[in-house]
Structure 1
Amino acid sequence: MNSDQIRYFDSTPATQFNLKDWANIADSLDPATLDRLWTSQALRRLKNSEREADRAAYNRLSRVKQPERLEIFSIVVADRRLKASLRPLVTEDKINVALQQSKDLASETRKAKQGRRSLKSPVTSKTGTSESSPGSMEEQATHVRYPGSPTPILSTQIPDALSAFSHDSDSIEFFQESPPPPSSPTGTDDNTQPSSTLSIAGHFALLNQRTQWTNILLRFKEYRQGQNWTLDLSPDGIMDLTLGSRFTATLDGQDLLTVLEDQPVLTEEFKELTELDELLGEDYSFEAISERIFNTPLNTPVRRFVYGIVHAYSRYFPRKTVIPALEEKQGMFAILCPFIQGALDVYHIETFMSEIAITASGERKNADKDYGERMEKSRRADMIAIDSEDNQIFLSECSSIYEKDKRKFAEDKWKLGRALKDSWDSTVRRVVQSYHPHQDLATFGIQFFSHRLVFYKMDFRGEYRLWQVDSCDIPLQMNTGFEKKFRASCRNSLCFAHMVAEEVRVRGALPFLSMKEKIILGRAAQRIKPTTDSPPFKKAH
């Protein structure tokens, strides 16, 4: 909380206090910070804070009704995210650093261009002083008005140093916000020489993705070089941060705390979840829920969601007390789909089921092939969902409901992790054809093994990160733990669908790019390394 906010708290009576006015003062806060502040734990954190100003904030905010508070801040956070995404691709500070670090390269580039066209800017002096002064920097800038933007947004021209993407990775260091590592020779052709880590980080920085994460990235690099497990995701550049992963087992206490700071958390306060809790009531045994749901008008998406689940179980209960051993696909349609597809239907997210081709997998396999060559087939997922631009935002891998082979679980997780990375890369390449990607772009997945449902999220922070968001057990017995498992499965499925819907909503608010920006970002997106150059695993006979 800044000084202006504290002053507002102290000078405004509780009856006149306006959360939106208070949030508008928080110009220094980024969307992620605002989002964290106003979760379900916001008031508790303010109340227990050691700062007197935070406790004063709690006293005033506790008088505002929770639904009103959450509704206002959902609008404020969305607006702040949009403003953050409209920032220039490269800020003025980064440009100044780039001009200093790459002045020699820029000079050589200008000399090469002198034979083709006249230079519009002054030539660098012999003393090595940069040609760009504050006045000339303003002349290089243009104003672009994005849809929905009340004022023109400054879109600064990318400096000549960007032309070094195909020449030398050292010129990309200004994207790193850290001292440059020792220089190493790199090739000029990505097909014959692999891109350096620094160059790759530069591409991701252009795509508005964060490339720094304390020393966790160094730990992962060491782990990646030393691992030799067949189904490890690290050769594909995927940092496995899920429960029981081999990589997290190598982290010390401090590094683990750093990881946990970014652990995705399911939102537990939104109107659909409140309606679900009211619908389930206090007694949620199968008999009580069945009677209540079958006598309730199906006039809301949440009611239809619960009705679909109860109707699926009514095929077996109470005639039987245990779900029979169903074949994999039958079990997916009969038991799993009502939870997952039903929850996504609440937010009108379109889903497809049963061996659906993963578009990004085919793109990766056939990226370097001529159309006259025979194309390889895409991998397939048991269930997918698409966003408003037809990008595959959600994938799943399922097994039978009583599966016992733990190798099947490891294989499905390995395939799902690679597929999520494929989809992330594909989504970025499609987004930059029209829009500026947001900073926390993510894809999602689930894995169903035996009776356990695991929710995953894939994002990027210097490396691809695979998170386990949550997990739950699907109830298979009517008289043994049905109530507890049923409630947890319904809530977790709806919370996860809400997380996916939030990603779809943010993507729908992305700003448009100019043609120059499309070319720059499209070039950066095309230089993302393919998912893997490691061969598929082979089962031992």
Structure 2
Amino acid sequence: MSLPSDILSEARKVAVVPDINAKWPTLQGISERVFKHNSYDDIARAIKKEDMEDPTAAYMFSVVMAYTLMLIPMFSSHYFDFHSEIPQDLNEREGFTDLTWSFIRGALTMNKIESRHLEVLVTGVQERKNHNKNPFFDTMEVGQYCDGVAFSGKDQVFLAEASQIQNAKADKRHQDQYKLARGLRDSWLSQMKSICREAVPPRDFAVFGSCTYKDESKLLQLDFQGAFRLCQFDSFLIPLEKKEFGRRMNLAVQSCLKLASRIEQQIIMRRLASPASFDKQQQLSDALCKTPVTTATPTKPKKGSVSK
């Protein structure tokens, strides 16, 4: 998951991030008012005073709402109604859906990027597994599923994997990192092939992902410059305690808005790609044929199975 420092510096230049304070002019003012407090209760009171017509305020409110039932009973969780900390026995789906994904999804939505979560099929993996198979004679394989996906049309431009927030197994970190890296590479290849059918792809063509282990979410990008380059460009920590809520939430909001801006910029670059002539399409196709093929991803043990 790491690169040499010189290559890492170059890889991080992909999809240079716009200034989120310039893009969202009210962000700084709302942050100063809301995050002058650190405790959850003070932040909840402060955010409710903001104008919910403002997308930045609405985003922050949705994050705060995920932690308590008292704000909007029909749609909220209720962890902080009964606890001062997130419960230790929270399962993987609860932690990802209620907490981690609320930060990421809200930022994506602010940037008009569609997303889905929980067991979403990764189309690039499915294509790779069935490459050169004849559907009339061969058994078609199902691709892998991931915890969260962001779309641009049919393109899956962002993939997310997550473990339990508390008490995650140590091997889960490595399994998810490996699975995510392979999934991103398959997605990159699938989307590059699709674009090359009609346009010249952007030079800094990239896909993005997040890998959450316990309370930390690492934000990643993958591109290709003679070799596939996977680098971490940011991370954030999920707030778990009422008394230490504000600092983590503030930094998480900033990181997720920057992530969404990177993805949005990549989408815009693709839409502005120049049309490719037939000769150019052939050149691009030949180049893609020389791109290293993704090897098979190790299978995950089935739940309930007993190892011998």
TM-score after normalising by structure 2? 0.86
2: CA distance between counterparts of 1:261 and 1:337? 28
Does 2:2 align with 1:241? yes
Q: Map residues 430-469 of structure 1 onto 2, 5 A cutoff.
A: 430-469=194-233
Q: Map residues 131-280 of structure 1 onto 2, 5 A cutoff.
A: 240-241=1-2, 248=4, 256=5, 258-264=6-12, 267=17, 269-270=19-20, 271-272=22-23, 274-280=25-31
Q: Structure 1 pair 511/471, CA: closer, same or farther in 2 (3 Å)?
A: same
In structure 1, the partner of 2:36 is: 283
User: Which of 231, 253, 259 in structure 2 is aligned with 1:496?
Assistant: 259
Q: Structure 1 pair 535/277, CA: closer, same or farther in 2 (3 Å)?
A: closer
**Cα offset for 1:535?**
6.2
In structure 2, the partner of 1:296 is: 50
Q: Once the two structures are aligned, what percentage of the paired residues are identical?
A: 27
Q: Structure 1 pair 498/289, CA: closer, same or farther in 2 (3 Å)?
A: same
**Cα offset for 1:298?**
1.7
Partner AA of 1:383 in structure 2: G
Q: Structure 1 pair 477/535, CA: closer, same or farther in 2 (3 Å)?
A: closer
2: CA distance between counterparts of 1:318 and 1:362? 42
**Cα offset for 1:453?**
0.8
Partner AA of 2:220 in structure 1: Y
Deviations 1:157-216 (A, max 9, x none): xxxxxxxxxxxxxxxxxxxxxxxxxxxxxxxxxxxxxxxxxxxxxxxxxxxxxxxxxxxx
**Cα offset for 1:357?**
0.7
Report the secondary structure of 2:117's partner residue.
strand
Q: Map residues 349-360 of structure 1 onto 2, 5 A cutoff.
A: 349-360=113-124
User: Which of 54, 59, 63 in structure 2 is aligned with 1:309?
Assistant: 63
2: CA distance between counterparts of 1:494 and 1:457? 15
Report the secondary structure of 1:512's partner residue.
coil
Report the secondary structure of 1:296's partner residue.
coil
Partner AA of 1:404 in structure 2: A
**Cα offset for 1:390?**
1.7
Matched-pair contact (CA < 8 Å) for 1:331–1:400 = yes
Q: Relative to structure 2, which stretch is displaced further, 420-429 or 265-274?
A: 265-274
2: CA distance between counterparts of 1:514 and 1:370? 30
In structure 2, the partner of 1:11 is: none
Partner AA of 1:264 in structure 2: R
In structure 1, the partner of 2:239 is: 475
1: CA distance between counterparts of 2:18 and 2:122? 31
Q: Relative to structure 2, which stretch is displaced further, 422-431 or 396-405?
A: 396-405
User: Which of 160, 169, 191 in structure 2 is aligned with 1:396?
Assistant: 160
Q: Structure 1 pair 353/311, CA: closer, same or farther in 2 (3 Å)?
A: same
2: CA distance between counterparts of 1:423 and 1:462? 17
TM-score after normalising by structure 1? 0.50
Partner AA of 2:7 in structure 1: V
Does 2:79 align with 1:320? no
Q: Structure 1 pair 401/294, CA: closer, same or farther in 2 (3 Å)?
A: same
In structure 2, the partner of 1:515 is: 278
Matched-pair contact (CA < 8 Å) for 1:273–1:491 = no
2: CA distance between counterparts of 1:436 and 1:417? 25
1: CA distance between counterparts of 2:212 and 2:109? 19
Matched-pair contact (CA < 8 Å) for 1:272–1:302 = no
**Cα offset for 1:335?**
0.7
User: Which of 115, 133, 145 in structure 2 is aligned with 1:380?
Assistant: 145
Matched-pair contact (CA < 8 Å) for 2:167–2:214 = yes
**Cα offset for 1:484?**
1.5
**Cα offset for 1:513?**
1.4
Matched-pair contact (CA < 8 Å) for 2:121–2:144 = yes
Deviations 1:242-299 (A, max 9, x none): 6xxxxx5xxxxxxx3x234315267472334553232122513322321222232222
- Larger % of strand: which? 2
Partner AA of 1:280 in structure 2: S
Q: Identify which of structures 1 and 2 has the higher relative contact order when contacts are C-alpha pairs closer than 8 Å and 6+ apart.
A: 2
In structure 1, the partner of 2:298 is: 536
Matched-pair contact (CA < 8 Å) for 1:301–1:345 = no
Q: Structure 1 pair 268/514, CA: closer, same or farther in 2 (3 Å)?
A: closer
2: CA distance between counterparts of 1:333 and 1:535? 25
Report the secondary structure of 2:150's partner residue.
strand
Deviations 1:279-320 (A, max 9, x none): 122513322321222232222322221111011122322542
In structure 2, the partner of 1:368 is: 132
**Cα offset for 1:353?**
0.8
Matched-pair contact (CA < 8 Å) for 2:18–2:261 = no
**Cα offset for 1:352?**
1.1
Deviations 1:38-90 (A, max 9, x none): xxxxxxxxxxxxxxxxxxxxxxxxxxxxxxxxxxxxxxxxxxxxxxxxxxxxx
2: CA distance between counterparts of 1:459 and 1:445? 12
Q: Relative to structure 2, which stretch is displaced further, 482-491 or 358-367?
A: 482-491
1: CA distance between counterparts of 2:176 and 2:126? 18
Q: Structure 1 pair 336/261, CA: closer, same or farther in 2 (3 Å)?
A: closer
Partner AA of 1:284 in structure 2: H
Matched-pair contact (CA < 8 Å) for 1:280–1:289 = no
Bigger CA radius of gyration: 1
Matched-pair contact (CA < 8 Å) for 2:62–2:106 = yes
Matched-pair contact (CA < 8 Å) for 2:84–2:241 = yes
Q: Structure 1 pair 487/268, CA: closer, same or farther in 2 (3 Å)?
A: farther
Report the secondary structure of 1:284's partner residue.
coil
Deviations 1:311-360 (A, max 9, x none): 11223225421112321112211111210111100111110111111001
Matched-pair contact (CA < 8 Å) for 2:37–2:246 = yes
In structure 1, the partner of 2:74 is: none
Deviations 1:110-160 (A, max 9, x none): xxxxxxxxxxxxxxxxxxxxxxxxxxxxxxxxxxxxxxxxxxxxxxxxxxx
Matched-pair contact (CA < 8 Å) for 2:43–2:246 = no
**Cα offset for 1:370?**
0.7
In structure 1, the partner of 2:268 is: 505
How big is the alpha-carbon RMSD for the aligned residues of Structure 1 and Structure 2? 2.1
Matched-pair contact (CA < 8 Å) for 2:8–2:231 = no
Partner AA of 1:536 in structure 2: P
Partner AA of 1:278 in structure 2: G
- Larger % of helix: which? 1
2: CA distance between counterparts of 1:466 and 1:509? 25
2: CA distance between counterparts of 1:402 and 1:509? 43
